[in-house]
Chains A and B, each alone.
Chain A
Amino acid sequence: MDFSEAADRISRKFSKSGQTVDQKKIEGKLRRLIEEFGVQPAEAERSVTNELNKEFNIPVMGAGGSAGSGGAGSGGTAEKKIADAAPGEWVTIEGKIVALAAPASPAIAQSGIIADDSGALRFVAWAKANAPAMTQGSWYRIESAVVDEFKGIASLKIHSGTTIKEIEEDRALMPATTSIGELHPGIGSIRAKVVQEWDASHERMLQSGLLGDETGTIKFVIWKEPGKESLAPGAVYNIFYAQVDEYNGRLSLNLNTAMVMQEEGDIAVNGGEAAVSGAIVHVAPGSGIIKRCPVEGCNRALSRQNYCPVHEIQLKFVYDMRIKGWLDDGEKTHSVLLQRDVVESLTGISLDAAKEIAENNPLGMDEVFLQMRDKVLGRYITCHGREIDNRVLVNKCEPVVFESEKHTALLNRAGGAS
Chain B
Amino acid sequence: MSTPAHEMGRKDASFEREPARRVFASELRECRYQFKDGEDEKSPTFVLLPTGERCNRVFIVGTLTEKQRQGDQNMFYRGRVVDPTGTFFIMAGSYQPEAMQQLAKIETPAFVAVIGKPSLYRKDEASSPMISIRVESINVVDKETRDLWVLDTAEHTLDRIEAFAAGTGVDVVKAKEQYPTIDPVTYRKIAYDALAQVKI
B-binding residues in A (CB < 8 A): 248-249, 279, 281-285, 326, 328-333, 335, 373-374, 377-380, 389-390, 400-402, 404, 406-407, 410-411, 413-415, 417-418
Contact = CB atoms under 8 A, between A and B. Distances in A.
B141 interface: yes
Contact of B151 (A248, A378, A406): A406
Nearest to B17: A333
Nearest to B143: A402
Contacts of A402: 144, 147-148, 151, 200
Interface stretch (B25-33, B40-48, B120-128, B183-191): B183-191
Per CB-CB distance, the 10 closest pairs between chain A and chain B, nearest first, are A378-B113, A414-B192, A377-B139, A333-B17, A281-B115, A378-B139, A414-B191, A330-B22, A328-B20, A380-B148
Contacts of A411: 192, 195-196
7 contacts: A279-B149, A281-B137, A330-B19, A332-B19, A378-B138, A410-B158, A418-B192
Contacts of B158: 410, 413-414
Nearest to B14: A249
Interface stretch (B2-10, B69-77, B82-90, B168-176): B2-10
A380 B20 CA distance: 13
A410 B151 contact: yes
Interface of B: 2-3, 6, 9, 13, 16-22, 57, 59, 61, 112-115, 136-141, 144-145, 147-149, 151-152, 154-156, 158, 185, 188-189, 191-192, 195-196, 198, 200
A378 B145 contact: yes
A283 B22 CA distance: 19
B59 A281 contact: yes
Nearest to B16: A333
Nearest to A330: B22
Given A330-B156, A389-B13, A282 B151 contact: no
A331 B18 CA distance: 9
A333 B189 CA distance: 29
Nearest to A390: B13
A282 B137 contact: yes
A410 B147 CA distance: 13
B173 to A, nearest CB: 20
B148 to A, nearest CB: 5
Given A374-B140, A379-B113, A410-B151, 16 more contacts: A281-B20, A284-B6, A333-B18, A335-B9, A377-B113, A378-B115, A378-B141, A380-B145, A390-B13, A402-B151, A402-B200, A407-B195, A414-B158, A414-B188, A417-B188, A418-B185
A298 to B, nearest CB: 20
Contacts of A410: 151, 154-155, 158, 191, 195
B163 to A, nearest CB: 12
B198 A418 contact: no
A378 B191 CA distance: 21
A406 B152 CA distance: 10
Contacts of A401: 144
Given A390-B13, A410-B195, A418-B192, A331 B19 contact: yes
A330 B145 contact: no
B113 to A, nearest CB: 2
A402 B147 CA distance: 7
B52 to A, nearest CB: 14
Nearest to A417: B188
Contacts of A379: 113, 141, 145
Contact of B59 (A328, A335, A406): A328
Given A282-B115, A378-B61, A404-B200, A330 B21 contact: yes
Contacts of B152: 279, 330, 380
B20 A333 contact: yes
A418 B196 CA distance: 15
Contacts of B114: 378
Nearest to B187: A414
B35 to A, nearest CB: 20
A400 B22 CA distance: 16
Contacts of B188: 414, 417-418
A338 B158 CA distance: 32
Contacts of A284: 2-3, 6
A152 B147 CA distance: 52
A279 B114 CA distance: 11
A324 B19 CA distance: 17
A248 B10 CA distance: 13
A328 B195 CA distance: 21
A245 B20 CA distance: 36
Contacts of A248: 13
A378 B13 CA distance: 25
B139 A407 contact: no
Contacts of A331: 19
Nearest to A328: B20
B141 to A, nearest CB: 5
A334 to B, nearest CB: 9
A373 B185 CA distance: 38
B165 to A, nearest CB: 10
Contacts of A377: 113, 137, 139
Nearest to B193: A414
Contacts of A414: 154, 158, 188-189, 191-192, 195
B200 A333 contact: no
Contacts of B191: 410, 414
A402 B112 CA distance: 17
Nearest to B148: A380
Contacts of A279: 20, 59, 113, 149, 152
